[in-house]
Amino acid sequence: MPSANGSDKEIQPMTRSIIGGAAAFSNSTYFYSALSVSMLFLIWIGTTQWLAVVSTKLLPSPVSLFNEFLVISRSGYAGTTLLGNILASFFRMVLGFTLSAAVAIPVGIAMGMSGKVRGFLAPIFNGLRPVPSIGLIPLMVLWFGIGQTSKVAVIFLASFLFVVLNTAEGVRSVPVGLMRAAANLGAGRVQMFWRVVLPASLPAIFTGLKTGLAVSWAVVVAAELLGAQRGLGFMIEDAATFYRIKVVYIGLILIGLIGIAMTAAINALERRIVHWVGKS
């Protein structure tokens, strides 16, 4: 963003790289990221291929993994193409996460605005908070069977609390100064909500959505481990049963890479929508 002429509180780049978060990724930060990735790769090649000190039954070499990747991207896995497996997991996650956010955001707003709603729901949510969502999988299977519904339900629950609690906190902590300024300028209750409370809460809502998304992706894989006909979690579980260790690794790496891509995408969206955050 260009800064105004005569800005009296400009942060110098040096300070920014010290105090700044992801928004202030400098070139040297990228350098060290590249360094860690290449080191990991070198150790991997070194131990499996050059020195051969690690059994390729436990950790296949990068080259053999890549060859296997070419094979399954051509012929698929267990009757489903590789892309089909990826998309199966992805759409489960999108479905569960979207439904979850669609319910959690309004509920969070209601909690943030009303002490009664907050008091009513707090014990339920506080009780659910320490329960790991993966622990709910068997219960969801009992309730909804092993089909799509139980998996979507697990994803729904996994991200729900993060979005609800962050949204509620965001709504509660809208600066009084902004509300007073708006009231003074003639905003009524409805205007106050749409033009002040909601935009002021967006940063916190985004924080909840980001965590919820990451958790959803982790949980979809876990849910697929317990019975599914397709999906990355299914692929890993099935391949492990048949000692196709390379496929297991391919599945894990794909999950990691897709996770990184999703985080990057939602971070980019966040920077676009709540562009004012962290600047003052």
Partner 1 sequence: MAYLEISGVDKVFGTDGKPGQKVLALEGINFAVEQGEIYALLGPSGCGKSTILEIVAGFERPTRGTVLFDGARITGPEPERAMVFQQPNLFPWLTVIDNVMFGPRVQGQSDMRAAAKRAGHLLEICGLGGFEKRYPYQLSGGMRQRVAIVRVLMNNPRVLLMDEPFGALDALTRLTMQELLLAIWGELKPTIIFVTHDVDEALFLADRVGVMSRRPGRMKREVGVEIGRPRDVDVMITPKFTALKSMLIHELRNEAQATDGAPQDHTKILTG
DSSP string of 104-124, one letter each residue: HHHHHHHHHH-HHHHHHHHHH
Q: Which of 186, 189, 241, 272 binds partner 1 (CB under 8 A)?
A: 186
Question: Is residue 79 close enough to count as binding partner 1 by CB under 8 A?
Answer: no
Contact in structure between 233 and 221 (CB atoms under 8 Å): yes
Which range, of 80-88, 153-161, 192-200, 241-249, touches partner 1 by CB under 8 A? 192-200
Q: Which of 3, 38, 67, 73 binds partner 1 (CB under 8 A)?
A: 3
CB of 209 to partner 1, least distance (A): 17
Question: Is residue 258 close enough to count as binding partner 1 by CB under 8 A?
Answer: no
Which range, of 63-71, 162-170, 174-182, 243-251, touches partner 1 by CB under 8 A? 174-182
Nearest-angstrom CA–CA distance, 44 and 23: 31
Question: Is residue 197 close enough to count as binding partner 1 by CB under 8 A?
Answer: no
Question: Is residue 225 close enough to count as binding partner 1 by CB under 8 A?
Answer: no
Q: How far is residue 231 from each of residues 78, 90, 110, 228, 263, measured CA to CA in Å? A: 10, 8, 36, 7, 20
Question: Is residue 123 close enough to count as binding partner 1 by CB under 8 A?
Answer: no
Which stretches of the chain are DSSP H helices? Answer: 13-19, 27-45, 62-75, 82-113, 115-128, 137-144, 148-172, 176-184, 189-192, 198-225, 232-241, 245-273
Task: State the residues that interact with partner 1 by CB under 8 A.
Answer: 1-4, 6-9, 175, 177-178, 180-188, 191, 195-196, 199-200, 202, 274-276, 279-280
